[in-house]
Amino acid sequence: MTAPLPPAQYRVPPYWMRAGGWVVLLSALAAAIYATIEVAQIGRLKDAALIALVTTNTLFIYRFGIHIAPRLGRLFAEFPVAGTDPQGAVDHLLGDRKTGLPACIYSGFIAFSVWQIDPWRDDAVLTLWLCLFLFMNNLIVGTVIVSIARFWQLVLRELGTLDLRILNLHRAPMIDLLRINSQIVMATALVTCLAILGLVLSDYAIDPIILVFSVSALAMVVATYAVPVLPLANLLAAKKAEELDRLERMIDARIRHLANEPPRDDLGREIDQLPSLDDLVEARDLVMKVRTLPPGGQISVSAAAIVTFLSFMPTLIDYTMRKLF
């Protein structure tokens, strides 16, 4: 395992910089063309919010990739397996050209679904350009979905190799993993929130579709939080149970000694080598107070609170606008 370098020493994969930059540029171009055609066709921008928010999402995802890549490198350097080549692990997540095909498939599915829904109701030109606009913007979304799946795979593989200690949770790589996962969760929540908000404000008559998309997007946010955190919490719970069992056996041995009962034969040490009964009880109480879910305490709770707010924000805005207008 290599020694962790400062985040700045781990580079953003060139593929993400180049391909992502082109996607952002082409997405903005598609947005401009679509908006121009829409104004020419109907004299106004009916879905200006959708155009603005979806384009903003694309730029945000691209910039978030640039932000998170060096931090992922530092995190991976602290893992036993990925630590042998942290930059290679980052490149596998954000710099692999093989993510292009599933990204195109995902984006094509979104565009085809919009074509089938036909939100413009038989205006083929506007529907076509809306599909092209959404296809371009969802390319980076599809890439990120693959990257998140690979991140899950890497983390789950590494969890079994970590030296987890129930009384020392605030140490590398635990705290860095939880912090980065919180950032990913919050970014996912923001992206889904803006996408749902764009649909809500677009004034399309597709309420059932918005509901299905909202539920699917919320499920993605929940999965982004749960997939890495729940297995980690289960491992910590097992470690906690082992530690409590060890302490309880020593406490029982001390009590047996005080009661002049036969000693236990599973301690592996003499009774006079054990800590005092008061120290053992204090240690047991300390272990019992350790929270295994969420493992990171305030970091995870803060992320969950922000995610909850972002998830409900489109509904709140839609409700407010219906009441006011």
pLDDT (0 to 100) of residue 98: 95
pLDDT (0 to 100) of residue 197: 84
Taking the mean position of all CA atoms in its chain, how far away is CA 146? 12
pLDDT (0 to 100) of residue 318: 65
Asked if the model's pLDDT at residue 71 lies above 70, the reply is yes
pLDDT-derived band at 207, boundaries 50, 70, 90 = low
Lowest mean pLDDT among 226-235, 254-263, 290-299: 290-299
pLDDT (0 to 100) of residue 196: 84
pLDDT (0 to 100) of residue 77: 93
| Tokens describing residue 212 | 């299905």
pLDDT-derived band at 117, boundaries 50, 70, 90 = confident
Environment class of 40 (CB within 10 Å of its CB; exposed 0-12, middle 13-18, buried 19+) = exposed
Mean pLDDT over 42-57 rounds to 92
pLDDT-derived band at 302, boundaries 50, 70, 90 = low
End-to-end CA distance of the chain: 60
Phi, then psi, of 276 in degrees rounded to 5 = -65, 160
Q: Find out whether 86 and 231 touch, Cβ atoms under 8 Å.
A: no
Q: What percent of the chain has pLDDT over 90?
A: 48
pLDDT (0 to 100) of residue 295: 79
- Phi/psi region, residue 214 (left: phi>0; alpha: psi -120 to 50; beta: rest), is alpha
Asked if the model's pLDDT at residue 169 lies above 70, the reply is no
Lowest mean pLDDT among 15-24, 34-43, 194-203, 205-214: 205-214
| Tokens describing residue 262 | 């036969």
pLDDT (0 to 100) of residue 190: 87
pLDDT (0 to 100) of residue 215: 76
Asked if the model's pLDDT at residue 7 lies above 70, the reply is no
Mean pLDDT over 69-91 rounds to 94
Mean pLDDT over 115-122 rounds to 85
pLDDT-derived band at 125, boundaries 50, 70, 90 = very high
pLDDT (0 to 100) of residue 134: 94
pLDDT-derived band at 266, boundaries 50, 70, 90 = confident
Which distant-in-sequence residues (6+ apart) come within 8 Å of 147 by Cβ?
93, 94, 99
pLDDT tens digits, 170-192: 567 888 898 899 899 889 988 98
pLDDT tens digits, 214-223: 778 878 888 8
Measure the CA dihedral 22/28/29/33, to 10°. Answer: 160
Asked if the model's pLDDT at residue 203 lies above 90, the reply is no
Q: Find out whether 126 and 114 touch, Cβ atoms under 8 Å.
A: no
Asked if the model's pLDDT at residue 199 lies above 60, the reply is yes
Read off the pTM: 0.85
pLDDT-derived band at 148, boundaries 50, 70, 90 = very high
Q: Find out whether 200 and 322 touch, Cβ atoms under 8 Å.
A: no
- DSSP annotation of 271 reads G
pLDDT (0 to 100) of residue 104: 96
pLDDT-derived band at 12, boundaries 50, 70, 90 = very high
* Cα dihedral 230, 236, 239, 244 sign: negative
| Tokens describing residue 164 | 């987890």
Asked if the model's pLDDT at residue 64 lies above 60, the reply is yes
pLDDT (0 to 100) of residue 140: 96
